Structure 1
Amino acid sequence: MLDFIIAVISNFIEYFPRDFQVEATRYVIGAVGVWFITWVLLSGVLENRRIRKPLPALLRNKQIIREIRNSTLSIIVFVFCFSVTNQLMEVFYGGSIFKIYADVAEYGWAYLVFSVVLWTIGLDTYFYWTHRFMHLPRFYKFFHRTHHRSHNPTPFTAYSFAPPEAVLVYIFVPVFFAIVPMHDTAFISAMLIQIVRNAMAHCGYELFPRGWAQHPVLGIFATVTHHDLHHEKSNGNYAFYFTFWDRVMGTEHPEYIERFERATQDNGKSGIGAATGTA
């Protein structure tokens, strides 16, 4: 056991600069990127798309500082968990069991795209059920209260976790890689989509066009209001990418459609459509 602990610590120290830089860069791309686009570059265009009244500047800035600090700690936890995973695979399997591959021809381009879709569906399912678990009264304080301190979230809320929640978030990654073959490009793409979508869900502006939430097909994709309402009410709307699980399990917040419509009263004059010139 002592040898294992020493090996984990050694691995963590050796690879920490590289792994931290990779994860931190991904966080910056998502959180800072979404913040700059929605809060700075398109703030005028999106003004009518504010879901809730923003916090006073002083409180908002204090919250963002706390979120960045928590997110930095979460990234450190992710890196440490990866070191633990590496050593567990070394001890029990003599090396990596991850089904990561580098040659696209091995499975083809169609499978590469499919693996990203499968990742997204799998992650949403994992997120929904672990999220509900963390909202159970006996576990909420230990796992999830830190994240919900951001009652009115910002893009920097994306990784604002307590360490136990960060561990729970991490677990999906090695489990998926041990089961599903994934090209390294697909993996990078899926991880970038995840952090950008995460930051979008916390940005405070409804980015989706009017009518999206009620659409029979598009409505399966969760809007910004969907997750923002979860932060406001602290119950319901537990899913992340899709509304499927909330609808099937009866946990979609009853105010969701109404609140989405209220946030998109501009009749589609702003949001993703306007920002891309397609509205």
Structure 2
Amino acid sequence: MSLAHFGELIWESYRQDSILQPLWDYLRLHHCDTLRSPLFPVFLSVSSYFIFCLPYLLCDIMGDRWPAVYRYKIQPSKMPTHTMFLRCASITLRNHILLVFPAAVAQWAWRPPIPLPEQAPTLLELVGGVAGNLLLFDLQYFIWHLLHHKVRWLYVTFHAIHHEYSAPFALATQCLGGWELVTVGFWTTLNPVLMRCHLLTTWAFMLAHVYVSVEDHCGYDFPWSTSRLIPFGIYGGPSKHDVHHQKPNTNFAPHFSHWDKLLGTHADFSFVKSQEKIY
């Protein structure tokens, strides 16, 4: 395909309000079998998770040797150790090997690979679908998370492992009990189906969800953090979730702030700064 022809395809797609069509045509025509595999979403989420963790992992390893980065560490007196890194990575891999991959393979027995649609979603449909899925997941996990803190058996059995670290770091994002990881994966898979999203929108949501989840736990409040880019304080980000790990009965919503504010479980970000004075 020549560059001129590719440009014509993009222009034609733009005129039809489907600028994503050339990308979708390439994926559909050249990688059809891979995209239709039940293992593809698992591979996409796991690989993107470790890729998104890498920059923050490097920041933690370098620590105060990178003062320009270290200044944005929310709790600079609490740096994760190599032992913490290895433990969280091993728990994440174990949960995926023993639970997530078998569940994906089992889909072959009851759900045949679905055909890929010919038309790509419009850019507005993709962005709206990703935002809608994030908002729906935010409500689901807010309720589930709240229950795991209020019901002692749920907390001790499944969620306590995630709160072993009062200063979160990227690799702690999926350091969860197997049951909790399965429920998170269930909603992440089910919600795009309920919202009738295009497959490209579904995969974009998965990538966005993995990224913001890692960012929430990264332990750094950079100027380009999502919470700083989204106005009016409607998005929580790493500072908000860092407060949750310091003060576990607050800030239950994984991403946004509205449910905590409405139900009185919101804690202001200044709590982090006040805690730092104590150490």
TM-score by length of 2: 0.72
Q: Deviations over 1:36-71 (max 9, x none)?
A: 3676599422322222134466xx211111100111
Change in Cα spacing, 1:39 to 1:224, as seen in structure 2 (3 Å) is farther
Say which SS state the counterpart of residue 67 (structure 2) adopts: coil
Q: Which residue of 1 aligns with 2:166?
A: 151
Which structure would you say has the larger RCO, counting Cα contacts within 8 Å and 6 or more residues apart? Answer: 1
Q: Which residue of 1 aligns with 2:195?
A: 180
Deviation at 1:20, TM superposition (A): 5.8
Structure 2 residue 85 is the aligned partner of structure 1 residue 64: yes
Q: Deviations over 1:148-183 (max 9, x none)?
A: 122222110111111111111111023213312223
AA aligned opposite 2:105: S
Structure 2 residue 68 is the aligned partner of structure 1 residue 45: yes
Pairwise mapping of residues 45-194 of structure 1 onto structure 2 (< 5 A)? 45-55=68-78, 60-76=81-97, 77-87=99-109, 89-90=110-111, 95=112, 102-105=117-120, 107-135=121-149, 136-194=151-209
Alignment check: 8 A CA contact 1:38 1:203 kept:
no
Residue of 196, 201, 205 corresponding to 2:216: 201
Deviation at 1:16, TM superposition (A): 9.4
Q: Deviations over 1:109-153 (max 9, x none)?
A: 321221111111111111211111221212111221111122222
Say which SS state the counterpart of residue 121 (structure 1) adopts: helix
Alignment check: 8 A CA contact 1:237 1:252 kept:
yes
Change in Cα spacing, 1:112 to 1:75, as seen in structure 2 (3 Å) is same
AA aligned opposite 2:92: S
Q: Which residue of 1 aligns with 2:54?
A: 32
Identical amino acids, percent of aligned pairs: 18
Partners of 1:193 and 1:216 in 2: how far apart?
A: 14
Structure 2 residue 238 is the aligned partner of structure 1 residue 224: yes
Say which SS state the counterpart of residue 68 (structure 2) adopts: coil
Partners of 2:175 and 2:62 in 1: how far apart?
A: 21
Say which SS state the counterpart of residue 45 (structure 1) adopts: helix
Pairwise mapping of residues 235-250 of structure 1 onto structure 2 (< 5 A)? 235-250=249-264
Alignment check: 8 A CA contact 1:103 1:183 kept:
no
Change in Cα spacing, 1:190 to 1:43, as seen in structure 2 (3 Å) is farther
Change in Cα spacing, 1:119 to 1:189, as seen in structure 2 (3 Å) is same
Q: How many residue pairs end up in the alignment?
A: 236
AA aligned opposite 1:166: L
Pairwise mapping of residues 13-32 of structure 1 onto structure 2 (< 5 A)? 21-32=43-54
Alignment check: 8 A CA contact 1:202 1:228 kept:
yes
Partners of 1:36 and 1:154 in 2: how far apart?
A: 11
Alignment check: 8 A CA contact 2:39 2:101 kept:
no
Residue of 254, 257, 266 corresponding to 2:269: 257
Say which SS state the counterpart of residue 239 (structure 1) adopts: coil
Partners of 1:49 and 1:116 in 2: how far apart?
A: 28
Partners of 1:121 and 1:262 in 2: how far apart?
A: 30
Say which SS state the counterpart of residue 251 (structure 1) adopts: coil
AA aligned opposite 1:192: L
Alignment check: 8 A CA contact 2:217 2:238 kept:
yes
